Amino acid sequence: MLIEEASPRQMLEFLVAAGIETPLDEHPVDRFALSVPTPVAEPQRPAAEAQPARMAGGGPAPLAPDAAIMEARRLASSAPDLDTLRSLLDAFDGCALKSTASRLVFADGTPGAPIMIVGEAPGRDEDEIGRPFVGRAGQLLDKMLAAIGLTREHVYIANTVPWRPPGNRTPTPQEIAICLPFIARQIELSAPKILLTMGAPATQTLLGQKEGILRLRGRWFEYAMTGRTIPALATLHPAYLLRQPSQKALAWRDLRALSTRLRNSG
């Protein structure tokens, strides 16, 4: 059959047999363009709505050390009283020790007492109970205070780091630096007449010293606060005395010096 001799019906049957089933319009149509969807640009999120970085588990990503120190300074300086400071510290996530400790160990004793004692960091017993110096070292501290006629009600007790380091290890310089603004503000708000630093970490951190505690103990320093300074005495930590009982005589000398200074301070 020649195409010129085919009827319209025969032509249609030929085209269908050839697989051509779509009729053509009078005007050309670019069907490739019709098959490609028009891309829709996603709206840009304003900078103010940017979301904070988050960890894989969904929680906020930890602050970098420098940022954590800056945030600690901001929060600590904003606290008008010890209760607010405790709440701010409890909500602070800038120190990694918080994630491994059971609870915050803030303070014990009487805020505003004439003597403030600052140690290093909580141990296992302190972590379980939530108060500083409650284990064997704390029991020895109570005996040391009783030797000069004092109880916990006559002092205010805290640590340079308020969370227990894993395995009771020594806090790292970074951990101490992050927590320093909080203990500094805690001392300011408690406003003691005398500061007693126990052990090398507390003495070196708060008094800016580099020597070992055996060289520093028994010496008086000036601790600077906003607008004033107070006398500070370095002494041995009770935990050290439990390991080295022969050094208790040195701690006894320090306690006698503390008692004398307290009486003379009026």
Structure letter (DSSP) for residue 68: H
Closest to 257 measured CA to CA, from 205, 223, 221: 221
Those residues of the chain that have pLDDT short of 70 are: 1-62, 266
What does the angle CA 151 – CA 109 – CA 81 come to, to the nearest 5 degrees?
150
213 Cβ partners below 8 Å, 6+ apart? 199, 200, 203, 234, 236, 237, 240
Dist. CA 154–CA 225, nearest whole Å: 22
Dist. CA 234–CA 140, nearest whole Å: 17
**In order of start, what are the domains of the chain with their CATH numbers?**
64-264 (3.40.470.10)
194-219 pLDDT, tens digit per residue, is 999 999 999 999 999 999 999 999 99
CB 224 within 8 A of CB 210: no
CB 226 within 8 A of CB 210: no
pTM of the model: 0.77
* Per-residue pLDDT at 52: 44
- The structure tokens listed for 33 are 């363009």
* Per-residue pLDDT at 227: 85
73-104 pLDDT, tens digit per residue, is 999 999 999 999 999 999 999 999 999 999 99
